[in-house]
């Protein structure tokens, strides 16, 4: 039973939990960390670790997407980012990194006013494909109809439609909206779509034929969505809700399994692990990977929310640098702050609860704790 709280006489609200509000409980059985598997699969594509890089310019460049792929993860390039607007965006990365805080958002808006160039979409995706790794690119719902044929012709393996809130029933009087179900049906590649933050929205996205559904609004560390438009979804509750929608959709569809991918708000390895325990099959990471020495943002982090021309819902922030991409994913760690060795943390949690793979780990016991991090 979901618990509703009376906000006032005229309004009730459901009680929701963030990842800080919950914790994993060890079971009666433990295992060696060498006996657990962190592999996952979406459609025909298999990966060694359940990590996807967020399609954010400060996180994923063609080079880091290639590096992610060679480490057994998945890199997703933002196909509306600097890499598809400028032939050589390197000076602009340097400029954004060094902007004073009070000028950063306005200047980012100016930089991203440059149009996206289809030939650069093709060039960047070919660069990733030539490296022999899985090719994934992301567009916003607003740009999908304009550029999807360019993306597919370039040879993308996985297509990501990512927005703050994505619905299967977008209504517009001004233009013909994207028909997700028809679009996905006509496409020859698997589609990951989101974000969704509740059971009903996720179930509708699953019915469109999506191979994966993103949970959350993304851009947790650089998002101002709650401050600007008042929209927020506590991630623990959102992931558990969408995992339940996946179970019900499996029954409804006769066994079709849709991957649930937690997106945003997982800045440390503990939150990453808890997202998987709550029912996610994989996690899309932004800020943790922006801290890599190879990250294009060089310790500075921003997302698509910051570049909106009339209502920016995000900002540029400093996340610092903690080590190489490999050390962030696989260690070793030299600080007990959850910023490095994410996969080592996952293996330790799985071993401590006795589960051999991520699918089974989703069944682990959890508690709600009023004392986060204790």
**CA-based Rg of the chain, rounded to a whole angstrom?**
20
Per the confidence metrics, is the pTM higher than 0.85?
Answer: yes
Instruction: Identify the CA nearest to 139 among candidates 117, 161, 156, 170.
Output: 161
Contact 82, 89 (CB under 8 A): yes
State the pLDDT at residue 175.
52
**Residue showing tokens 């060679």:** 70
Instruction: Reply yes or no on whether the pLDDT at 171 is more than 70.
Output: no
State the pLDDT at residue 121.
98
What is the domain count for the chain? 1
Each residue's pLDDT tens digit, 297-347:
999 999 777 777 777 777 788 999 999 999 999 999 999 999 999 999 999
The percentage of the chain sitting over the pLDDT mark of 90, rounded to a whole number, equals 72
Does 1 map to a domain?
no
Does 7 map to a domain?
no
State the pLDDT at residue 10.
92
Instruction: Reply yes or no on whether the pLDDT at 354 is more than 70.
Output: yes
State the pLDDT at residue 374.
46
Structure tokens at 226: 């709650």
First to last CA, the chain: 27
The DSSP bridge partners found for residue 12 are: 6
Domain of residue 316, residue span: 19-368
CA distance 98 to 69: 30
Instruction: Identify the CA nearest to 297 among candidates 319, 266, 282, 324.
Output: 319
- Say how many C-beta atoms besides its own lie within 10 A of residue 256's C-beta: 13
Does 102 map to a domain?
yes
The DSSP bridge partners found for residue 41 are: 46
Does 297 map to a domain?
yes
CATH number for the domain including 90? Answer: 3.20.20.70
Does 6 map to a domain?
no
Each residue's pLDDT tens digit, 124-141:
999 999 999 999 999 988
Instruction: Reply yes or no on whether the pLDDT at 165 is more than 70.
Output: no
Instruction: Reply yes or no on whether the pLDDT at 173 is more than 50.
Output: no
Does 10 map to a domain?
no
Each residue's pLDDT tens digit, 257-304:
999 999 988 999 999 999 999 999 999 999 999 999 999 999 999 977
Contact 262, 279 (CB under 8 A): no
State the pLDDT at residue 305.
77
**Residue showing tokens 């993306």:** 151
Using DSSP, how many helices (H) and how many strands (E) does the chain show?
14, 16
Each residue's pLDDT tens digit, 71-93:
999 999 999 999 999 999 999 99
H/E element, 283: strand 282-285
Does 129 map to a domain?
yes
H/E element, 75: strand 74-78
Does 150 map to a domain?
yes
In the chain, where does DSSP find H-type helix? 62-70, 90-98, 101-111, 118-130, 141-153, 180-186, 199-207, 225-229, 235-253, 269-277, 287-290, 325-330, 342-353, 358-361
State the pLDDT at residue 372.
53
Residue with the bigger pLDDT between 260 and 229: it is: 260
Return mean pLDDT, the chain.
90
Instruction: Reply yes or no on whether the pLDDT at 223 is more than 90.
Output: no
């Amino acid at each position: 039973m979901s618990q509703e709280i009376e906000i006032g006489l005229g309004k009730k609200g459901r009680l929701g939990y963030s990842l800080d509000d919950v914790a994993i409980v060890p079971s009666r059985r433990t295992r060696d960390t060498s006996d657990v598997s962190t592999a996952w699969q979406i459609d025909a594509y298999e990966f060694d670790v359940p990590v996807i890089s967020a399609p954010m310019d400060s996180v994923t460049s063609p080079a880091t997407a290639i590096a992610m792929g060679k480490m057994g993860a998945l890199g997703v390039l933002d196909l509306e980012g600097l890499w598809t607007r400028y032939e050589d965006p390197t000076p602009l990365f340097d400029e954004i990194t060094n902007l004073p805080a009070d000028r950063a958002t306005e200047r980012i808006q100016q930089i991203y006013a440059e149009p996206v160039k289809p030939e650069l979409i093709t060039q960047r995706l070919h660069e990733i494909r030539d490296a022999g790794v899985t090719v994934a690119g992301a567009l916003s719902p607003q740009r999908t109809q304009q550029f999807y044929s360019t993306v597919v012709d370039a040879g993308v393996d996985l297509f990501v439609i990512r927005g703050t809130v994505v619905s299967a029933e977008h209504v517009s009087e001004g233009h013909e909206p994207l028909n997700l179900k028809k679009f996905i049906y006509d496409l020859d590649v698997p589609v990951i779509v989101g974000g969704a933050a509740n059971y009903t929205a996720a179930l509708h996205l699953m019915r469109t034929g999506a191979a994966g559904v993103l949970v959350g609004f993304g851009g947790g560390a650089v998002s101002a969505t709650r401050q600007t438009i008042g929209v927020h979804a506590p991630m623990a509750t959102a992931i558990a809700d969408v995992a339940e929608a996946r179970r019900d959709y499996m029954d409804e569809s006769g066994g079709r399994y849709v991957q649930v991918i937690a997106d945003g708000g997982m800045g440390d390895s503990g939150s990453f692990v808890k997202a998987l325990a709550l029912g996610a099959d994989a996690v899309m990471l932004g800020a943790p990977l922006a801290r890599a020495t190879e990250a294009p943002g060089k310790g500075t982090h921003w997302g698509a929310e910051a570049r909106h021309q009339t209502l920016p819902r995000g900002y540029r922030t400093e996340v610092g640098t903690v080590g190489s991409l490999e050390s962030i994913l696989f260690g070793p760690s030299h600080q007990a702050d959850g910023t490095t060795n994410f996969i080592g943390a996952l293996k330790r949690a799985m071993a401590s609860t006795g589960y051999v793979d991520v699918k089974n780990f989703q069944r682990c016991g959890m508690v709600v704790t009023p004392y986060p991090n204790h």
